[in-house]
Amino acid sequence: EAGVAQSPRYKIIEKRQSVAFWCNPISGHATLYWYQQILGQGPKLLIQFQNNGVVDDSQLPKDRFSAERLKGVDSTLKIQPAKLEDSAVYLCASSLDIQVSTEAFFGQGTRLTVV
């Protein structure tokens, strides 16, 4: 079974530029999560989807971050414009379904450096 796929693995941009990350969850997984993990900290939930609907985006900085999950499968996370403090690893994870699954499967993440 293929795991969660993310791209790119690494990205370096200048502040005020925009960037987009892509995630392909495990086939059949209804729940998709985007996390931000700053070095030395735990993953911080940015947004959680159930199929193509948003379950929670309370910690997503909506003035600069946006995410979508068209057709309930792939998802993209965008930052525009980027700030220095956005330097982090962005992790995508998926679960079979919120209501029945207790395990989230993570991708390898995208390491973003904002200079």
Chain residues that interact with other proteins, rule: CB under 8 A: 31, 33, 35, 41-45, 48, 50, 55-56, 58, 91, 93, 95, 98-99, 102-109
Q: Which is nearer to other proteins, 17 or 101 (CB)?
A: 101
**At closest approach, how far in Å is the CB of 113 from other proteins?**
14
Q: Which is nearer to other proteins, 45 or 114 (CB)?
A: 45
- Report strand pairing: 105-106 vs 88-95: antiparallel
- Do 19 and 7 meet the contact criterion of CB atoms below 8 Å apart? no
Q: What angle do CA 87, 31, 89 make, to 5 degrees?
A: 10
**At closest approach, how far in Å is the CB of 56 from other proteins?**
4
* Residue 92 in tokens: 């995508």
